[in-house]
Structure 1
Amino acid sequence: MLRIGLTGGIGAGKSTVARRLVELGATLVDADVVAREVVEPGSEGLAQVVAEFGSEVLDADGALDRPALGSIVFGDPAALTRLNGILHPLIGRRTMELVERAPEDGVLVQDIPLLVEGTMAPLFALVIVVNAAEDERVRRLVGDRGMSESEARARIGAQATDDARRAAADVWLDNSGSPDQARDEVDRLWRDRLLPFEENVRLGRPGSSRPPRLVEPDASWPVQYERLAARIGHAVGDAALRVDHIGSTAIPGLPAKDVLDIQLTVKELSAVDVALPALRGVGFIDRPGVDRDNPKPADPDPEHWRKRFLTSADPARPVNLHVRAEGSPGARYALLFRDWLRADRRARDEYLTVKRRAAERHAGDSDASRYVEEKEPWFDEALPKAEQWAQNEAWRNPTDGLL
């Protein structure tokens, strides 16, 4: 199952996108529907709310009078906390019941209006944010919901900012245009990304294998890393000592393959076995055949260079996840080379020359393995320079003394 988070500001058209995804075959769990369901007449939730706030929160038919309840809690933080203490566990329990009923070989979309505000993005393998220009959202709210313009703008202003939503978005779906344009965009997303992603996760396949091709630096690489790091950290839990952006995309200004390399440092590699189902749940596939770094001359014992290697199953965002144990030379060198290349322009330029030559020689390869192998001699020769830089700068290995 591929779990997708869907969100967007009021008036952006999130419900329209959700309906189309269901038409295409997704299973939908709507947070607003669940929130209403747990306080339906006769429910445990409604009984608890009445016991806490009194019968004045019921209408003449015995259903929840939402305006009456709102008048009690929204001006009283303590009362709102008590209400949330009743509702949130019930909503969470019901949501998980619905999630567990979803087909294992399908795409599950969870429509959560406050996904960004609730910092829930790391729970999902992919987050779709539906957006529209503010003036268009105001026009819809005034025309479709009968709000005044000032009320519409106030409601928009009370929600997460566009910047916050962009930071959480793996997919930014602009719904400012016509319904047909939005439908076509959703259809392309379903066909080209969501269905292949789900199949890759289910079958344990990496999402992308591309010939080595260098692209210009992308200013969004660090933001993409932050999103992925949050997912990885949440999936691994306390076993994750730290998560770092490594490799060429972590070096500002350096052309690179459009593949994010991430290092997860754990106390012991066996911790990954426990976390594999959760990592698969956020889109990462174990690659057991790639379990060692190339030993460096200073330490030829291959056992010192053991690691676990995972890749993303997302066809649109290649990611390599290198899992290394605390104190291992591989974990240290990944961070040393990154920091040295960030600091030393001459070394960075020299490395870029090597990268470009290797990319040209292996441009026709179906994957990047020979491209990577061709760069290894440069790393071996550059290691003493990196170590000298570390000594001169009093560089400290960030993975030292984590516990």
Structure 2
Amino acid sequence: MAVLVNDGAVPAKMVAMLRVGLTGGIGAGKSTIANRLAEHGAVLIDSDQIAREVVEPGSAGLAEVVDAFGGEVLAADGTLDRPALGRLVFADDAARTRLNGILHPRIGARTAELMAEAAPDAIVVHDVPLLVENGMWANYHVVLVVDAPEQTRIDRLVSSRGMPEEDARARIRAQATEEQRRRAADVWLNNGSTRDLVLAEVDALWADRLVGFEGNLRLRRAAARDSQPMLCTSDPNWPTQAARQIDRINVVAGERAHRVDHIGSTAVPGLAAKDVLDLQVVVSDLAAANRLADELIDVGLVRNSEGFTDTAQDGTEWDKALAVNADPGRAVNCHIRPADSPAWREALLLRDWLREHPEQVTAYADIKRQLAERNRYTRMDDYATDKTPFLRAALRRAEDWAKETGWR
């Protein structure tokens, strides 16, 4: 029954605390992770607990459920008979939609109240079993997914809850797939082995990432980075990580964003790069760019207060805004460019040209490695400047390619 009624919404524009979404399939052992985070000092908001609270005896929620589904969903003591209700709605989409329409607004309102009560320096962990199924991941600064092998989960459900094995399998099949959860997960926690191993991961996550992220967010401070270009081999996970950040940016930007794209070296398969995601948002003008850069604090990106200028291929200069990660665990540069700047088109053109020319990917990677090995940089901007001759020549060839192919 719990899997049906626990998708309380996260209120928008709540930047006073770090919001952590915690989820995982039935039987994965989320409570182990949630309890450990609470021991460290996290404020834990449990969607299942709220779902029970809004249908307590005497509540308006319970009265509306009974009105909708009949007295047979009540136990002898006047409480909600969850198994009986579950049998009515589990395989009936219309009934489930009706139930959710009764409960979700109440769960969302209560969730908002609890978040509003959290201290400004809180790390709020919102335990939401259906976070992925309901497309809620973009509302959190960090999403933690707890997983375990399917048979392990089935064994847990049979032994600890007395659930028939076929029922356990049916519940698992009704939830998100591993692929869907990985798409949403900033952190993947394997809870299929010994308890001590996963708790050690949680302890390290708290100390090395969450505490620093909260402090950076509260102080509107960018996470520290190395001044030296540390090149990594191309990571096939970069596009998925970028897509997750783009989802978050779109929550804030909405229709103001003409487009949001993954650009730069991490957007080119096979290209060695710094482990920094470059994203680009195109908006109407520079004033809109500056406003959005300030607002992206709501999704963990901090506006860089310095002025930033792009030099286009024709030599003209164009101002932009830049927001960067407060999260110590995921480096991001978000370039916010006005629609009349040629720089946003050039960034996309260079990306797409490199994707179509593997030999140029190799040449660019060689230049990067030579610069990184030869020089000791005090500023990352100097490394970017040293790459400019190659990029200028590449853009000239890319423009010829665009004319030949009709690229736009």
Query: TM (normalized to structure 1)?
Result: 0.92
- Give 1:75 deviation, angstroms: 4.4
Q: In 2 relative to 1, CA 148–237 (structure 1 residues): closer, same or farther, beyond 3 Å? A: same
- Matched residues in 2 for 1:159 and 1:71: separation? 17
- Matched residues in 1 for 2:283 and 2:175: separation? 37
1:103-124: CA deviations, max 9, x gaps? 1112111100011111111111
Checking the alignment, whether the CA contact within 8 Å between 2:367 and 2:387 is kept in structure 1 is yes
Q: In 2 relative to 1, CA 140–80 (structure 1 residues): closer, same or farther, beyond 3 Å? A: closer
Checking the alignment, whether the CA contact within 8 Å between 2:138 and 2:251 is kept in structure 1 is yes
Q: In 2 relative to 1, CA 65–276 (structure 1 residues): closer, same or farther, beyond 3 Å? A: farther
Q: In 2 relative to 1, CA 136–335 (structure 1 residues): closer, same or farther, beyond 3 Å? A: same
Q: In 2 relative to 1, CA 277–42 (structure 1 residues): closer, same or farther, beyond 3 Å? A: farther
Structure 1 match to 2:347: 334
Checking the alignment, whether the CA contact within 8 Å between 1:168 and 1:227 is kept in structure 2 is yes
2:85 to 38, 49, 69: 69
Between stretches 21-30 and 319-328, larger displacement belongs to 319-328
Root mean square deviation of aligned Cα: 1.8
- Matched residues in 1 for 2:358 and 2:146: separation? 40
- Give 1:168 deviation, angstroms: 1.0
1:266-345 correspondence to structure 2 within 5 Å = 266-276=283-293, 278-293=295-310, 295-296=311-312, 298-300=314-316, 302=317, 305-345=318-358
Give the letter aligned to residue 257 of structure 1: K
- Matched residues in 1 for 2:291 and 2:306: separation? 18
Give the letter aligned to residue 20 of structure 1: R
Q: In 2 relative to 1, CA 324–166 (structure 1 residues): closer, same or farther, beyond 3 Å? A: same
Structure 1 match to 2:193: 177
- Matched residues in 2 for 1:367 and 1:154: separation? 55
1:89-104 correspondence to structure 2 within 5 Å = 89-104=105-120
Structure 2 match to 1:390: 402
- Matched residues in 2 for 1:81 and 1:307: separation? 45
- Matched residues in 2 for 1:150 and 1:158: separation? 12
Checking the alignment, whether the CA contact within 8 Å between 2:289 and 2:320 is kept in structure 1 is no
- Give 1:49 deviation, angstroms: 1.9
- Matched residues in 2 for 1:44 and 1:216: separation? 57
Give the letter aligned to residue 233 of structure 2: E
Structure 1 match to 2:255: 238
- Matched residues in 2 for 1:288 and 1:87: separation? 43
Give the letter aligned to residue 392 of structure 2: D
Flag structure 1 segments of 5+ consecutive residues without an equivalent.
397-403
SS of structure 1 residue aligned to 2:258 = strand
- Matched residues in 1 for 2:402 and 2:287: separation? 30
2:389 to 363, 377, 380: 377
Give the letter aligned to residue 61 of structure 2: G
Checking the alignment, whether the CA contact within 8 Å between 2:277 and 2:331 is kept in structure 1 is yes
- Matched residues in 1 for 2:46 and 2:287: separation? 37
Q: In 2 relative to 1, CA 272–39 (structure 1 residues): closer, same or farther, beyond 3 Å? A: farther
Flag structure 2 segments of 5+ consecutive residues without an equivalent.
1-16
Give the letter aligned to residue 387 of structure 2: K
Structure 2 match to 1:401: none
Q: In 2 relative to 1, CA 288–14 (structure 1 residues): closer, same or farther, beyond 3 Å? A: same
Checking the alignment, whether the CA contact within 8 Å between 2:266 and 2:277 is kept in structure 1 is yes
2:130 to 106, 114, 127: 114
Q: In 2 relative to 1, CA 76–153 (structure 1 residues): closer, same or farther, beyond 3 Å? A: closer
- Matched residues in 1 for 2:183 and 2:265: separation? 21
Checking the alignment, whether the CA contact within 8 Å between 2:308 and 2:321 is kept in structure 1 is yes
- Matched residues in 1 for 2:208 and 2:90: separation? 43
- Matched residues in 2 for 1:212 and 1:274: separation? 30
Give the letter aligned to residue 211 of structure 2: L
- Matched residues in 2 for 1:71 and 1:139: separation? 22
Structure 1 match to 2:180: 164
What is the total number of aligned residue pairs between the two structures? Answer: 391
Q: In 2 relative to 1, CA 297–230 (structure 1 residues): closer, same or farther, beyond 3 Å? A: closer
- Give 1:81 deviation, angstroms: 2.0
1:15-61: CA deviations, max 9, x gaps? 11000000001001111111111111122211222333333332222
Checking the alignment, whether the CA contact within 8 Å between 1:209 and 1:367 is kept in structure 2 is no
- Give 1:85 deviation, angstroms: 1.2
1:48-101: CA deviations, max 9, x gaps? 223333333322222222233334333443332222111111111111111111
Percent pairwise identity: 52
Checking the alignment, whether the CA contact within 8 Å between 2:293 and 2:336 is kept in structure 1 is no
Structure 1 match to 2:377: 365
Checking the alignment, whether the CA contact within 8 Å between 2:239 and 2:267 is kept in structure 1 is yes
Q: In 2 relative to 1, CA 333–173 (structure 1 residues): closer, same or farther, beyond 3 Å? A: same
- Matched residues in 2 for 1:147 and 1:55: separation? 25
Structure 2 match to 1:253: 270
SS of structure 2 residue aligned to 1:270 = helix
2:279 to 251, 259, 262: 262
- Give 1:243 deviation, angstroms: 1.1
Structure 2 match to 1:400: none
1:83 to 96, 99, 102: 99
- Give 1:325 deviation, angstroms: 1.8
- Matched residues in 2 for 1:31 and 1:299: separation? 55
SS of structure 1 residue aligned to 2:121 = coil
